[in-house]
Amino acid sequence: MAVRIALAGKGGTGKTTTAALLIRYLVETGQGPVLAVDADPNANLNELLGLTVEITLGEIKNELRTSVPESMARGDFMEMRVHEALVEAEGYDLLVMGQPEGPGCYCAAHAFLSQALQRLEKSYRYLVVDNEAGMEHLSRLNMVEIDHLLVVSDASTRGVLTAARIAALVKPLQLQVAHQWLLVNRAPETIPGALDLYVRETCQKEGLQFLGYLPESPEIFELEISQRPLWELPSGHPLLQKAYHLFDHMLEVPKNS
Ligand SMILES: Nc1ncnc2c1ncn2[C@@H]1O[C@H](COP(=O)(O)OP(=O)(O)OP(=O)(O)O)[C@@H](O)[C@H]1O
Ligand SMILES: [Mg+2]
């Protein structure tokens, strides 16, 4: 089974940016293949990766109601379509969940999808799931065992408190998380002592491991406004160096491997 890493955090804190950085890190350090899953209904991970999405898993679930050829079992149809929905890139693939179904859950489709994903996952070393704040997709898809839950916060005490509250959803959603991390994103160059103290105390109190700070980067802003993928950030950029160092620590990769 792949090592599962899921992103969580309040809206706009940098989950998708962090997911894209993590995917780039895993690919560039030769730790692939990676399966990236965009589980945010307002999917935009593909844009940060510079990929075009043809069909989402939500759309495939709808096809299951109407378009299954008579000669085909629904499970086999789902598996075939999931493979077709994979966006293939160098060192990693991307799947997009899309919008959840409207009223009246089509639970059979969900079960088929969850089975197809679990079979697919076996071909990858890492699974990176970008989420909306609530993480409901993970429990709905039966993806309950998570190796690393990476909760992203902005650099504020209120943001950190919200991140801790989001991490506390793990229990009611019945997720089984081996490591819960807090990442404080868009941090100023000099971290105010009061914020640092608050971050560390909150992590201790709430059972989170503090991963570290990612700096605010004008280059990320530039890429965003010109709608260019994060891959265009030049290698060796301070943000990449910092992020890679944190990811090494999270995944315990020895320094010179
Ligand atoms: N370290 C950073 N430096 C500068 N800008 C950043 C940084 N991290 C994220 N941003 C910017 O902040 C905005 C929100 O980031 P992102 O989309 O990754 O957040 P999100 O948590 O995935 O948001 P959503 O909840 O809408 O999915 C984007 O415009 C992104 O370019
Ligand atoms: Mg996002």
pTM over 0.85: yes
Q: Which of 220, 222, 232 has the most ligand 1 atoms within 8 A of CB, as the residue to mutate?
A: 220
CA of 101 to the centre of ligand 1 (A): 26
Question: Ligand 1 atom 6: the closest Cα is on which residue?
Answer: 220
The H or E element spanning position 103 is: none
Neighbours of 209 (CB within 10 A): 13
Q: Place 105 in a pLDDT band, splitting at 50, 70 and 90.
A: low
Q: What is the DSSP string of 105-144?
A: --HHHHHHHHHHHHHHHTT-SEEEEE--TT-HHHHHTT--
CA of 15 to the centre of ligand 2 (A): 5
Residues with CB under 5 A from ligand 2 (ion): 15-16
**CATH for 3-251, options being 3.40.50.300, 3.40.50.880, 3.40.640.10, 3.40.47.10:** 3.40.50.300
Q: What percent of the chain has pLDDT over 70?
A: 95
pLDDT of the residue at 72: 84
- Ligand 1: nearest atom to the Cα of 218: 4
CA of 110 to the centre of ligand 1 (A): 30
Neighbours of 130 (CB within 10 A): 28
Give the residue extent of every domain in the chain: 3-251
Taking the CA of 218 as reference, the closest ligand is: 1
Interval 12-56: pLDDT, tens? 999 999 999 999 999 999 999 999 999 888 889 999 999 999 999
Interval 130-147: pLDDT, tens? 988 778 878 877 889 999
Taking the CA of 8 as reference, the closest ligand is: 1
Q: 257 pLDDT exceeds 50?
A: no
CA of 17 to the centre of ligand 1 (A): 6
- Ligand 1: nearest atom to the Cα of 12: 23
- Ligand 1: nearest atom to the Cα of 186: 1
Neighbours of 254 (CB within 10 A): 6
pLDDT of the residue at 104: 60
Instruction: Tell me what the mean pLDDT of segment 78-96 comes to.
Output: 94
CA of 100 to the centre of ligand 2 (A): 16
- Ligand 1: nearest atom to the Cα of 185: 1
Q: Count of alpha carbons within 13 Å of 2, Cβ hemisphere only?
A: 26
CA of 90 to the centre of ligand 2 (A): 22
- Give residue 104's region: left, alpha or beta (phi > 0; psi -120 to 50): left
What are the backbone angles phi and psi of residue 119, rounded to the nearest 5°?
-70, -40
* Ligand 1 neighbours (beta carbon < 6 A): 9, 11-17, 40, 185-186, 214, 216-217, 220-221, 224
